[in-house]
Structure 1
């Protein structure tokens, strides 16, 4: 078990040891739970249940009460039955399910690309890296989620001719599997799922293989032959529980496992873990304590860990949601080394802390001729970016907007962020920058977004109007990767509006297309500010000039 420690997460010895252990596994099953969907779209299971309840229960407060008091699964049963009740004479038996699928499809994929947390992406990079660098490894990705985010991430790497570990990825699409060869909810299904998995086991864990298993159905952005009806209601879960459990047992009997973004409370998963204990395979679970302050108490954590002991799983407690995706990136970094044990060496240049310190040293060189001129140029870049963002959003002149850039500050000395530049600047004293402590400061949305590890809008929908001039915010964490040596989070760029979250350009009802179009522009601005100097640079202006050119000629 990882200890309760005041040291930063990636500086702890036991975390480095776990990174190297996982990086050396020959066969691994990566189980991605609902946290991947939330990280990529902000959609929780409760939100999706609300989506399929809404057509037949119009009262917002009543839907909220049903979901809160009865629970997600029970509320989903109500939604499913209401759809079945609405089937008219002459309509097919699948009409109700088809309507639910269409509503869920729209809800999942209409969010736009502005919500783009890195969990799915980093799982895909880790999987491809492990099987492409050493051809004796195999990876199987497993998810109960309906969405296609994992497959999309895998396909983006493949179709863009990405090179990982000095090897091009395989040209064929990653195979998508289901625990049955037909609809798991079909009465006519006669396929034995465990038998099916045994027959294809040689494909699943043959050297160099990479597979994706959808346990509870699949809703693709564009329907295809591998789409399956989702498991939604209590009746669905009862029908498929045995299928899911046996499928998981077949996988866990033959492979180590890493659990990401899951509470590990689903009965089929718990039963499968219990049934496959003590078989000699390592099993790990990433457990975030960001919204669970009780897990920071030593005795509470000791007792909570006993549950993981029952399941033969090693919990990896981490402080913030951003650590989940970053942990996967660190495993990938170690897995690509000739000897992953090099990652544990104190002076290793590829470790997280070393890469972050190297970035800071290079960035701080931009201030070698004085901070004032450099900071003033960054203010001006933010103003140019703001003009372009305003046009993209079609924001009215009566709506005030601003952009701020927060940067990790002296990360080798402290865990803080500083407000480096703003479109409302410059200020006379560059040393009067606001500073926020990452572990404890909840005053700034930029710090909250950094801890979340994905773009974050504030305030949440239906919140009271915020006090002060700036009433709604969109904050985007920014990563830096020098020559593909491993990404590190180095800052946050924040767009703020003077209008509330209900009627401004950043409202929950604002066009997702407009917000998505803003993201690359904001990231271009951020890149111009956070990029360190290169060896050939003799002035801070080169990254800023490149950003201006890209903004003017996208």
Structure 2
């Protein structure tokens, strides 16, 4: 009963959440299993969308394709796609299928990305740096292992290491290391032959499998289990970001590679604590490796956690019952679930583990001035006093003017038609010590006469407000009304979460900003497939504006406002 009552509290207020943060941060060695949720957080696409994209050339009608996919499991549909590619492209089918996946992964742009991949890369670097400082560069360290195809995590590792090297030239940081379970691609035609009992291979496992000190703390290692599809299609040297491995797509592909994936995971799980993020605990090699190493992990005191978002709209009783069942199943594999309320809390959880790991005494995180709740309260106390309640400035007017000016700039950046009308709304996380709600703080449509009468809404997964949906997702979200839906004036929405990073570190989400258009569907410049680059520029501009609006620094505010207001009233000043 105590556990069930605990989950009724806000996620970061729960004792079980705080204990998990501390225990993970104090791990000497940590294996982070990063599942498909990391790709979804960066691209906005899940496995179903990728399979649909593979089938697009064969089932052109989108609605029909969706109906077909609803009646087949994703992996079964992927096998259909692989078979169709093989019929049409012969022995080059894997290359053609990979080319199509590359388009799906990267052609949509990065404007919808969340912070999960970045936070995982940062956590890995922090854990390894601490290990190196305590025990030397040659000791075993932590790593990330993933079944994903994309290079999002590895590219973030490259970027995080680059920034750290520039900021701290004296640090001993090696280049990020890219590894695979086998020495060569198990899905290349030269390494796969079909026998009487199906597919078999004569492949050597990668050398690191038998290295007790792998991964080393001096390296930032990312291991790809199911192939690697970087942005560039040109092959490169081993361990480089352009190295190419065919992706595991079909059921046969999984049969071919399952033993190698298990071997890699079994080696990693037998020597380190484990954190599972963005995965549904259904992958057979993952489950097999967890089961095989469970007894040893318990004996050696290695912690094994899985982050499990429960954003499903269940009632309290049903959710408690489901959580109980999940606990029992995960215990079967020696894993402890940590139940988050929303998908976006995964990236914040990783942020908190990183903050905790950087403390001189991680065990004191729960009482630290840098714990999540204290940082959030400090932001609100500073922002509400320095900005929202500053009696020397008419902030309501200034908020409105900034947003109204942003609408003009937005239209120009999007090169939208004169008929398309926009509005921008700013929503703020208010009084976080006492409530779980957000408030409409300002709008481009006009000033709010009385703050007390401003619209408020609970932070909930079933909220009708795009700003709240973006807040709980932790990444930009879009919403469009059907072209025949005339129930609302505003038809297309793009919501962006807004974050603030205190000087001591530890980014938190404190609000959201939403763009709304009166045009629906493809008629809106926010949706146009031919407008991707312009849309990305416009989104970046609005994101920068929103980040300034939620900053509690009066100095930053006045500097930004002077720049914007100078532009706004330039002609008036010239006339004077």
TM-score, reference length from structure 1: 0.91
Is 2:504 aligned against 1:488? no
Q: Which moved more, 1:541-550 or 1:436-445?
A: 541-550
SS in 1 for 2:540: helix
Is 2:276 aligned against 1:259? yes
Is 2:373 aligned against 1:333? no
Select the structure that is richer in helix: 2
Give the structure 1 partner of residue 531 of structure 2.
511
Is 2:168 aligned against 1:148? no
Q: Which moved more, 1:519-528 or 1:307-316?
A: 519-528
Q: Distance in 2 between matches of 1:29 and 1:2?
A: 27
SS in 1 for 2:71: helix
Give the structure 1 partner of residue 122 of structure 2.
125
Q: 1:439 aligns with which of 453, 460, 467?
A: 460
Q: Distance in 2 between matches of 1:22 and 1:80?
A: 39
> Does the CA-based 8 Å contact 1:118-1:453 persist in structure 2?
yes
Q: 1:322 aligns with which of 344, 347, 370?
A: 344
> Does the CA-based 8 Å contact 1:457-1:473 persist in structure 2?
yes
> Does the CA-based 8 Å contact 2:498-2:543 persist in structure 1?
yes
Q: 1:208 aligns with which of 214, 218, 225?
A: 218
Give the structure 2 partner of residue 99 of structure 1.
96
The unaligned stretches of length 5 or more in structure 1 are: none
Aligned pair in 2 of structure 1 residues 156, 2: CA closer, same or farther (>3 Å)? farther
Give the structure 2 partner of residue 230 of structure 1.
247
1:449 CA drift (Å): 1.2
SS in 2 for 1:473: strand
Give the structure 2 partner of residue 174 of structure 1.
176
Aligned pair in 2 of structure 1 residues 512, 70: CA closer, same or farther (>3 Å)? same
The equivalences for 1:386-425 within 5 A come to 386-425=407-446
Give the structure 2 partner of residue 354 of structure 1.
374
User: Which string of whole-angstrom CA distances, capped at 9 and with x for unpartnered residues, describes residues 389-426 of structure 1?
Assistant: 11111111100011111111111121111111111112
1:243 CA drift (Å): 1.2
> Does the CA-based 8 Å contact 1:40-1:117 persist in structure 2?
yes
Give the structure 2 partner of residue 197 of structure 1.
208
The equivalences for 1:495-534 within 5 A come to 495-507=515-527, 509=529, 511-533=531-553
SS in 2 for 1:417: strand
Q: Distance in 1 between matches of 2:66 and 2:265?
A: 33
> Does the CA-based 8 Å contact 1:158-1:169 persist in structure 2?
no
1:87 CA drift (Å): 2.9
Give the structure 2 partner of residue 217 of structure 1.
227
Is 2:236 aligned against 1:239? no
Q: Distance in 1 between matches of 2:312 and 2:382?
A: 34
Is 2:142 aligned against 1:139? yes
- Across the aligned residues of Structure 1 and Structure 2, the Cα RMSD in angstroms comes to 2.5
Give the structure 2 partner of residue 377 of structure 1.
398
User: Which string of whole-angstrom CA distances, capped at 9 and with x for unpartnered residues, describes residues 423-447 of structure 1?
Assistant: 1112333332111111366121111
> Does the CA-based 8 Å contact 1:401-1:497 persist in structure 2?
yes
SS in 2 for 1:141: strand
Aligned pair in 2 of structure 1 residues 110, 170: CA closer, same or farther (>3 Å)? farther
SS in 1 for 2:294: coil
User: Which string of whole-angstrom CA distances, capped at 9 and with x for unpartnered residues, describes residues 100-153 of structure 1?
Assistant: 111110111011121111110110111111112341472110110111110111
Q: Distance in 2 between matches of 1:76 and 1:456?
A: 26
Aligned pair in 2 of structure 1 residues 167, 434: CA closer, same or farther (>3 Å)? farther
The unaligned stretches of length 5 or more in structure 2 are: 192-201, 237-242, 570-576
1:502 CA drift (Å): 3.0
Q: Distance in 2 between matches of 1:267 and 1:285?
A: 16
> Does the CA-based 8 Å contact 2:483-2:520 persist in structure 1?
no
1:517 CA drift (Å): 0.9
1:291 CA drift (Å): 2.1
